[in-house]
A and B are shown apart, each in its own frame.
Chain A
Amino acid sequence: MGEKSSAKSGKGFGIFVTFCAMFLFWLLLSGILDVLHVGAGIICSLIIAFVSYDLLVTQKWDKMLRKSGRFIIYVVWELWQILLANFDVAYRVLHPKMPIDPSIIEFDTSLRSDLAIVTLANSITLTPGTITINIDQEKGRFQVHSIAQKPADALLVDKTMQEKVAKVFMEE
């Protein structure tokens, strides 16, 4: 009985959060504050919230909030890595001898959930000298193309990025 009612309140809460997010998005995109536009926004947001609230709010609220906080810190670190990646590629491309030594590497991770794997795959693609080719979700195995030996070692030996993503999504 108690479990059922908590699940019910979770549903109402999910719909409410989704509605707020959708409506805020609507206001930011439209910027017109008369009855017609705001009313249409409320109706559309309600429909979307009822249909798809379970896509946005998938877990308990406190856990999601903590993950979001860690994710923002991770994104800041990731932006710095992206900047380094671009200077790295620009250097390799503009250097007269083109210091590249491409290879395909494989490694295993402890990640299993969709969001964690997508985050790591996109991070790998955006950071210096590596692009994700294939992912085996059941084993957490990544297949990565690297443009030189050093970026490959960063994923195979140091594993800073895997650890950071695992920490963000609590899947160590």
Chain B
Amino acid sequence: MVELIVTILLVVVVLFLAAGVFFMLAGAIGLLRLPDFYTRLHATGKCDTLGEVLIIFGLLLYHIYYYSPGAELSVQLVPVKLLFLICFIFFANPTATHAIMKAAYNTGVKPWKKGDRRM
């Protein structure tokens, strides 16, 4: 019974990591394929946020399974720190994306319109 639970937990961890890697990959491909500065920020700003959060969440679950039983308090608190990290990414990432976007707009980077040539 315990082995079954551990197996399910590991499968869930791998699924989280795989989903995170998939979204990071989609973000990277978007960075290369999309036509201009603004649309590229769409790919990096969104996919990186979710990709990072999914990977960290997978690591959090793995840490609970692998280190937590019988460890010191400071080791058992590592998942809490990872949770703080997730919260921070959720605040910082869209704010940074917005700041870059605003800086580009204010300095006059021309947005790409449908039908234009690729820059």
Nearest chain-A residue to B81 (Cβ)?
A29
Q: Are B111 and A102 neighbours in the complex by a CB distance under 8 Å?
A: yes
Interface residues of B in 32-48 (CB under 8 A from A): 33-36, 38-39, 41-43, 45-47
| Count of A-B contacts judged by CB separation below 8 Å | 106
A161 at the interface (CB under 8 A from B): no
Nearest chain-B residue to A149 (Cβ)?
B114
Query: With contacts A33-B73, A82-B49 known, is A125 near B94, CB below 8 A?
Result: yes
| In the complex, chain A residues whose CB is within 8 Å of the CB of B26 | 86, 89-90, 93-94
Interface residues of A in 47-93 (CB under 8 A from B): 82-83, 85-86, 89-90, 92-93
A interface footprint on B8-29 (CB within 8 Å = 1, 0 otherwise) = 0000000000000011001101
Q: Which residues of A contact B (CB under 8 A)?
A: 28-33, 82-83, 85-86, 89-90, 92-94, 98, 100-104, 121-122, 125-126, 129, 131-134, 143, 145, 147
Q: List 28 A-B contacts (CB under 8 A).
A: A29-B77, A29-B81, A29-B84, A82-B50, A86-B23, A86-B47, A86-B50, A89-B30, A89-B42, A89-B46, A90-B22, A93-B27, A93-B30, A93-B33, A94-B26, A94-B29, A100-B34, A100-B35, A102-B38, A122-B98, A125-B94, A126-B46, A126-B49, A126-B90, A133-B105, A134-B105, A145-B42, A147-B39
